[in-house]
Amino acid sequence: MSVLICDADGELWYTRAEELGLYSIAMPYSYGDKVYYYDLGKNTDFRAFYDAVRGGEIPKTMALNPDEYIRILEPYFAKGEDVLYVSFSHAMSGTFDHLEAALAELRAKYPERKCTVFDTKSICMGAGIQMEYAAMLKNSGASDEEIIEKLTAFRDRVAVYFVVDDLMHLKRGGRLSGIAAFAGTLLNLKPMLTIDEKGSLKVYEKITGKKKALRKMADRVISELTGAEFNVYIMNADCPEESEFFAQMIREGRPDAKIVQQTVGPVIGAHCGPGTIGVIFVADRRPIPLAAE
């Protein structure tokens, strides 16, 4: 018998996670000299977080330490349960080194138990939609092996596009070089970004002006959406009016799209900053970056 878990960097909203019976590992972030743990929005003060960032606070994210992973995982092993952990991209965090250290200790103590980690090679709802799919498969009676097989094919169909309002947030988080961020800001560039097959952030297309960038992004959904039975997730970093404007663009071209709009959590928001708009949906394949950073 195994249990399915995920992490909060997948951004699957807490009510949906609870509906699916999916346990999520809360992920840490800090601002104003205080550490918080993101709980998929259940007790999150989004307004306080984004107001603080707009006011000049520079939030930080951090890895869980091995002891925290042991605290989370050991109760399952102690009950005789294996674990299937569907995680956000390993290419984006050093936290998985700590996870491996924790698992090495737990395997020595519980040699008969197993923890299988599936790397979604994505983040935010790019990972969350895979976590949601895994839970749906689990609840339908699929084995861990069947879930991994189906997820591996599904992973390559998850399309992620997003546009940030201020490139300097990506620069501070180490996701963009200082020169690229400065030049992009001067030229009013709003690059359409994506996640490549390795799970790393890449530039898909360089665009001038945010409205044009949103139009281009909507066009990608309209032309590429093939998995209309899955939700189209629009993520906004405290810019709900722009989110609705963007959603309407998609509805005009794809009235069959099942659109869900959601606020970006503080862990992801610490890197992308307020004003970010992203979209996640199921296509024939994940995007192939067209431009280097």
pLDDT in tens, 61-92: 999 999 999 999 999 999 999 999 999 999 99
Residue type at 208?
Answer: T
The pair of three-digit structure tokens given for residue 178, joined into one six-digit string: 């200082």
Helices (H) and strands (E) in the chain, counts: 11, 13
Rounded to two decimals, what is the model's pTM?
A: 0.92
pLDDT in tens, 207-247: 888 899 999 999 999 999 999 999 999 999 999 999 999 99
Task: Report residue 168's pLDDT band, with 50, 70 and 90 as the boundaries.
Answer: low
Termini Cα distance of the chain? 45
pLDDT of residue 218: 98
- Backbone φ and ψ of 225, nearest 5°: -60, 120
Sheet bearing 158-163, strands edge to edge? 201-205, 192-195, 158-163, 277-282, 231-236, 258-263
- Of the candidates 230, 225, 248, 235, the one whose C-alpha atom is nearest the C-alpha of residue 275 is 235
Rounded-to-integer distance, Cα 159 and Cα 157, Å: 6
| Average pLDDT value for the chain | 91
**Residues contacting residue 119 through CB under 8 Å, at least 6 positions apart:** 87, 89, 90, 199
pLDDT of residue 223: 97
C-alpha separations of 177 from 24, 174, 181, 194, 233 in Å: 32, 7, 6, 16, 28
What residue ranges do the domains of the chain occupy? 2-155, 158-282
Task: Report residue 170's pLDDT band, with 50, 70 and 90 as the boundaries.
Answer: low
CATH number for domain 2-155, candidates 3.40.50.10170, 3.40.50.2300, 3.30.390.30, 1.10.10.10? 3.40.50.10170
Q: Residue 77 half-sphere exposure, CB side, CA atoms within 13 Å?
A: 20
CATH fold of 158-282 reads: Hypothetical Protein Tm841; Chain: A;domain 3 (3.30.1180)
Q: Residue 56, Cβ neighbours under 10 Å: how many?
A: 6
